[in-house]
Amino acid sequence: MNVEKMMNALEAKHPGEVEYLQAVHEVLESIEEIYNANPQFESAGIIERLVEPDRILTFKVPWVDDNGKVHVNLGYRVQFNGAIGPYKGGLRFHPSVNLSILKFLGFEQIFKNSLTSLPLGGGKGGSDFDAKGKSDTEIMRFCQSFMMELWRLIGPDTDVPAGDIGVGGREIGFLYGMYKKLAREHTGVLTGKGLNWGGSLIRPEATGFGAVYFAKEMLATKGESFEGKKVALSGFGNVAWGAAIKVNELGGKVVTISGPDGYIYDEEGISGDKIEYLLELRASNQDIVKPYSYEFPNAKFYAGKRPWEVAVDVAIPCATQNELGKEDAETLVKNGCMAIAEGANMPCTPEAVEVIHDNKLLFAPGKAANAGGVATSGLEMSQNSLKFSWSREEVDEKLHTIMVNIHKACVEHGKDAEGYVDYVKGANIAGFLKVANAMLDQGVL
């Protein structure tokens, strides 16, 4: 494999798909050496087959608002690779959604799911629907219309979607309700379900918990822990919420959260009642960052800025892709940050990652650090198959073990001669090998 040639060919075939090309480039660079050392991959055309999705469904999603006005959004499902199990990956509802973003997320998902050690293939889907300001009934009608198309493609043993940005417990409920009606079956076709109808304990907080467990393992390689550490989070959605709870539990102090309009710095720490208050704001579909500074006047709101200018020991970006750039990384390094764990998918730009690596910080890429979400979705699928549910402690313990093992796999494949661990390389190689070997076993498909 020649990475440059491969990228040129892909750019010609998929012009303008910036996020997808960025994600593929990162993986190809990491696996180039091991790929070329194993000629069986080249002769089976593994990489040419891996970079193209198995199939993509696009569809229109018509729905009627509370005033009787008709709207049409676009819906997608990208089934990327099913070599090691049913397609698995979230649905994202956000106005920025397009095919490039979903292909990048679906591609990343292949390796992430492989790292969990569970039998899960990679996929992703979503819509350019904007839930902000919509009533519950509008969201319900949209979800029902979305599922009227999607249901044909998914099933508990073929493709099991979950939540992502803009898709939480409420949306999964509406989607599941419509699937159940159309398919006439009560199965584990979606994960992130309510606890009363097949959901798993810990699933909502699992991605954030997992990211913090992974960061804890990284810190331990330097003889450090979260005790007394200042931590910057971005966003305050599902992932940041779980991360905030776990950082507090492990003795750290969360000092920032953010939204698209700016960030909050709360020197006293964001925990307990403050987290409950944020959850109330989130449930009411409001902006959450600014109101926090009215409710807790010691906290400061910095309009139009990102939290990476605050001096912290650990940064966990949990909002969205490319939210931490080169200058942000330089500021974090200058301020003495020792570890960065990606709670979101690809929040650090390639330039930022270069700065972080050059300065030998501990750096966990999303496909390793945020794999706890999909891993717990895998555990939800197992519980659904068994028609059984595990306790909170059992799920948390399994999640913790999975994160420790992902960390081990990254170290095994990412440690260089001087002992520095390139977790990006480690995660890509470990995730790739399992999928590539499964593809070899199964023939050219």
What is the nearest approach in angstroms of ligand NDP to the Cβ of residue 202?
Answer: 11
Q: How far apart are CA 147 and CA 174, in angstroms?
A: 9
CB distance 174 to 143 below 8 Å = yes
What is the nearest approach in angstroms of ligand NDP to the Cβ of residue 100?
Answer: 14
Burial 214-252 (b: 16+ CB within 10 A, else e): bbbbbbeeeebebeebbbbbbbbbbbbbbbbbbbbebeb
What is the nearest approach in angstroms of ligand NDP to the Cβ of residue 303?
Answer: 12
Q: How far apart are CA 294 and CA 307, in angstroms?
A: 18
What is the nearest approach in angstroms of ligand NDP to the Cβ of residue 179?
Answer: 19
Q: What is the β-pairing status of strands 314-316 and 300-303?
A: unpaired
CA nearest to 289, candidates 297, 94, 281: 281
CA nearest to 191, candidates 208, 169, 209: 169
Residues in the chain, total: 445
What is the nearest approach in angstroms of ligand NDP to the Cβ of residue 44?
Answer: 30
- In this structure, what is the dihedral angle of CA atoms 260, 261, 265, 271, given to the nearest 10 degrees? -50
Closer Cβ to ligand NDP, 376 or 439, answer by number? 376
What is the nearest approach in angstroms of ligand NDP to the Cβ of residue 191?
Answer: 9
Closer Cβ to ligand NDP, 348 or 362, answer by number? 348
Grouping H, G, I as helix, E, B as strand and the rest as coil, residue 127 is strand
- Chain contacts with ligand NDP (rule: CB under 6 A): 163-166, 207, 234-239, 258-260, 287, 318-320, 323, 343-345, 370, 373
CB atoms within 10 A of CB 284: 9
Q: How far apart are CA 432 and CA 438, in angstroms?
A: 10
Residue 193 annotated among the catalytic residues of the structure: no
User: For 188-284, where are the E strands, in sequence order?
Assistant: 230-233, 253-259, 262-265
What is the nearest approach in angstroms of ligand NDP to the Cβ of residue 222?
Answer: 25
DSSP structure string for 316-378: E--S-TT-B-HHHHHHHHHTT--EEE-SSSS-B-HHHHHHHHHTT-EEE-HHHHTHHHHHHHH
What is the nearest approach in angstroms of ligand NDP to the Cβ of residue 63?
Answer: 20
Closer Cβ to ligand NDP, 169 or 177, answer by number? 169
Closer Cβ to ligand NDP, 219 or 318, answer by number? 318
Which of these is catalytic: 88, 112, 124, 246? 124
Residue nearest to ligand NDP (CB): 237
Closer Cβ to ligand NDP, 147 or 257, answer by number? 257
CB distance 45 to 71 below 8 Å = no
**Which residues have CB under 8 Å from 138's CB, separation 6+?**
63, 65, 66
Both structure tokens of 252: 């750290």
CB atoms within 10 A of CB 155: 16
AA identity, residue 369: A
Catalytic residue numbers?
124
